[in-house]
Amino acid sequence: MKSPPFLPMLITLCFTGCATGYHSSGFTGGFSDTQLAPDVFRISFQGNGYTSADRTQDLALLRAADVTLSHGYHYFGIMNEAEGGHTDSFTAPGQSYTSASVTGYGNTAYGSATTTYIPPQRFSFFKPRSGLMIRCFAEQPEGGFAFDAAFLSRSLRSKYRIKD
C-alpha cells in the first residue's frame, strides 16, 4: 500500500511544527554558550525554519541575561554580535496513481486506465542564527551602555511566555 502524498510533509511538520523554544541546542535548534574569561561569554542561538530572525535575536539576548545572572553579575554589554543562518531543503518524492476499470460483454472485455502523476516537490526554509560575545559587570559601567540582565530577562520571558 502506498502512503498518501501528504505523508512526507506531515512527518516534517511533526518534527518542526513550531518555532524554536528556549532550550539548550538540539534537533530543532536552541542556545549554547561558552565561557571565555571569568566575565566574558560567547552565546549563540539557532532557530529552525519556523523561527523569525527577531525571535532568534531576542532569545540570544535572553540567554545572555540568564548567563549573566547565573554567574553573579547584574549587567552585560555586547562586545560583538553576528546574525545569519543557513538555508536547508528537502525533496518530497514524486508519486503516481493508476485507476483502471474493465467491463465485459460476452467474450469481449473493454478497459480503460488513468494515471495521475505528482512530481517531486522541493521545500526550502531558512534557519536563522544569532551570536553574541558579552562582557558581564557587577555594577553598571560608567560611560558605556550595558543591559540590566534581570530587567531584560523578565521582559523577554513575558514577551514569549517563558517560565523561569
pLDDT tens track for 80-121: 999 999 998 989 999 999 999 999 998 999 999 999 999 999
43 in a structural domain: yes
Full domain range(s) for residue 57: 25-86+126-160
Number of domains in the chain: 1
7 in a structural domain: no
Query: What local confidence, expressed as pLDDT, does residue 1 receive?
Result: 47
18 band by pLDDT with thresholds 50, 70 and 90: confident
Query: What local confidence, expressed as pLDDT, does residue 66 receive?
Result: 98
Query: What local confidence, expressed as pLDDT, does residue 164 receive?
Result: 82
CA 25 – CA 101 distance, rounded (Å) = 54
**What is the side-by-side strand order in the sheet with 147-148?**
30-37, 40-46, 121-137, 75-92, 147-148
Query: What local confidence, expressed as pLDDT, does residue 15 receive?
Result: 47
50 in a structural domain: yes
Q: Are 132 and 78 in contact (CB under 8 A)?
A: yes
67 in a structural domain: yes
Structure-model confidence comparison of residues 3 and 126, the more confident one: 126
112 in a structural domain: no
Task: Show the 3-state SS of 113-140.
Answer: EEEEEECCEEEEEEEEEEEEEEEEECCC
Structure-model confidence comparison of residues 112 and 7, the more confident one: 112
Query: What local confidence, expressed as pLDDT, does residue 12 receive?
Result: 47
94 in a structural domain: no
132 in a structural domain: yes
Structure-model confidence comparison of residues 125 and 3, the more confident one: 125
105 in a structural domain: no
Structure-model confidence comparison of residues 86 and 4, the more confident one: 86
Summarize pLDDT for 20-62 with one digit per residue, the tens: 999 999 888 999 999 999 999 999 999 999 999 999 999 999 9
